[in-house]
């Protein structure tokens, strides 16, 4: 009645926030979990912090060689014994009822393979909710692709669905590996969104959001699903994602003219791309300011 949950933390030199993350796992009101801690060759005090928790449910593994995050996630999942799996990054935080609410949602819906929660972004003294709305609901896969809102630390999924359908982290990706992984899982069953914000995501404004590889990786995914029966009918939705990030990348690199030409080329099949006319005219910096203001309202 209370399935074992394999909680996975992949970590490299995470001493700064790790204790807070571990404490949030230890404080869960749902007790039937194991923690797979995969240390990707940390050189700081990470091992001592983990071993200091003194809880038999925590299983510490140290990689022989440092790998990419995607490969580390796959290696950690091979150690999982639970019927359900959840990731939490080493700087994020769960609310005490996170696992209990997510497990109950899956138990209530026999076809569910994935549930995810709304989360609170935080950065210093600022906090704001992720998009998603205030109602719990089942999410069709096309909506998941077009309005993707899953935080890696805010999802719980079925291990059997992953293994039976050979779903894994594609190690070719470094930016959209979670998007690729979760939409492939979603193609195997039903997905449910939980509106209660039960995870806190530590916002890193200097992170990967302006990496020019985003468009390249979305285009790779578009080609990847061409021959996949579960996802090939959603290629147009994935192509729209590519068109959005390609336009954004052109704008971030200051190529407004090329961005405008790309918008004109794509608008017939993707009218929503017209939202980028604002940064074409007024600049990407002002566009970001406007988005941040809206997201924090």
- Which of the residue ranges 11-20, 50-59, 129-138, 247-256 would you say has the lowest mean pLDDT? 247-256
Region 52-77 average pLDDT: 97
Residue 208: its pLDDT value, please? 45
279-285 contacts at long range (C-beta below 8 A, 24 or more positions apart): 279/251, 280/251, 280/256, 284/248, 284/251, 284/252
Parallel, antiparallel or unpaired: strands 5-11 and 33-39: parallel
Which residue ranges form the domains of the chain, and what is each CATH number? 5-202 (3.90.550.10), 213-295 (no CATH)
DSSP characters for the chain? Answer: ----EEEEEEESS-TTTHHHHHHHHHT-S---EEEEEEE-S--SSHHHHHHTT--TTEEEEE-SS---HHHHHHHHHHT--SSEEEE--TT-EE-TTHHHHHHHHHHH-TTEEEEEEEEEEEETTEEEEPSS-SS-EE--HHHHHHT----GGGEEEEHHHHHHTT----TT-SSSHHHHHHHHHHTTSEEEEEEEEEEEEE--TTSSTT-THHHHHHHHHHHHGGG-TTTGGGHHHHHHHHHHHHHHHHHHTT-HHHHHHHHHHHTTT-GGGGGGHHHHHH-HHHHHHHHHHHHT-
190-219 pLDDT per residue, tens: 999 999 999 999 987 544 445 568 999 999
122-136 pLDDT per residue, tens: 987 889 999 999 999
In this prediction the pTM is 0.91
| Rounded distance between C-alpha atoms, residue 238 and residue 276, angstroms | 18
| Rounded distance between C-alpha atoms, residue 166 and residue 238, angstroms | 21
Decide which of 207 and 243 is more confident: 243
The model's confidence at residue 47, banded by pLDDT at 50, 70 and 90, is very high
Q: Which of 25, 201, 30 shows the shortest CA–CA distance to 119?
A: 201
Residue 252: its pLDDT value, please? 83
């Amino acid at each position: 009645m209370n399935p074992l949950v394999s909680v996975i933390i992949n970590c490299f030199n995470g001493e700064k926030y790790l204790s807070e993350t571990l404490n949030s796992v230890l404080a869960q009101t749902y007790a039937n979990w194991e923690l797979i801690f995969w240390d990707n060759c940390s050189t700081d005090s990470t091992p001592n912090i983990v071993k200091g928790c003194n809880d038999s449910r925590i299983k510490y593994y140290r990689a022989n060689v440092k790998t990419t995050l995607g490969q580390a996630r796959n290696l950690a999942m091979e150690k999982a014994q639970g019927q359900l799996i959840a990731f939490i990054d080493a700087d994020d935080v769960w609310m005490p009822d996170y696992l209990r609410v997510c497990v109950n949602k899956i138990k209530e819906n026999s076809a569910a393979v994935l549930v995810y929660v709304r989360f609170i972004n935080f950065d210093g003294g600022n906090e704001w909710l992720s998009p998603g709305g205030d109602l719990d609901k089942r999410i069709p896969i096309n909506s998941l692709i077009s309005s993707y809102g899953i935080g890696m630390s805010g999802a719980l999924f079925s291990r059997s669905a992953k293994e039976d359908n050979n779903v894994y982290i594609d190690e070719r990706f470094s930016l959209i590996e979670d998007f690729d992984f979760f939409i492939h899982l979603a193609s195997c069953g039903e997905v449910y969104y939980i509106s209660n914000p039960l995870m806190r995501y530590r916002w890193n404004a200097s992170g990967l959001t302006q990496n020019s590889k985003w468009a390249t990786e979305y285009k790779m995914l578009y080609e990847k699903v061409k021959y996949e029966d579960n996802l090939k009918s959603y290629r147009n939705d994935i192509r729209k994602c590519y068109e959005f990030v390609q336009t954004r990348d052109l704008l971030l690199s200051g190529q407004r003219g090329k961005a405008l030409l790309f918008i004109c080329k794509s608008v017939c099949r993707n009218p929503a791309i017209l939202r980028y006319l604002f940064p074409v005219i007024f600049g990407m910096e002002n566009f970001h300011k406007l988005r941040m203001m809206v997201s924090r309202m």
